[in-house]
Structure 1
């Protein structure tokens, strides 16, 4: 009876061991692929963080141009208002304005 119990236990454990080995083997086979994909993504993300694409350069240049235009517009409106009130700044050219 003891022998049957030991035999039954060893057969049931061997099934678990086979399943565990199969699981381990599939993990070991796919692990290098997962690491390689992750490594490539990490490297490309690092390169993207360091480099600037042409579209990003164009966007930045456009943003700076719009900010400069807005600043010149504010300065011009302020100059027009000072000239209209009769209190121009020394750098204002009120003779060139039509208001």
Structure 2
């Protein structure tokens, strides 16, 4: 699971949906690197948004990170609220990384 953490402070990003989307995808990229993989190993992403109006902006940021096929499957869920009121997005990602 990735939430929009600010890498400088370690706290939550309070930016707009584009900024928060970048934070979650950067966090996912770092988690994949630590596991010995990359974003190319991601097979499924569940995106939770609090507003359907944020989908286009989130999708623009998504396209900056997932640039080559095969692309992961994606489900986008609009939720009434997330765990923290300042969060506009949260993701859950599934990946397959072969053991070294």
TM-score bracket relative to the smaller structure: under 0.3
Q: TM-score, normalised by structure 1?
A: 0.23
Which structure has the greater CA radius of gyration? 1
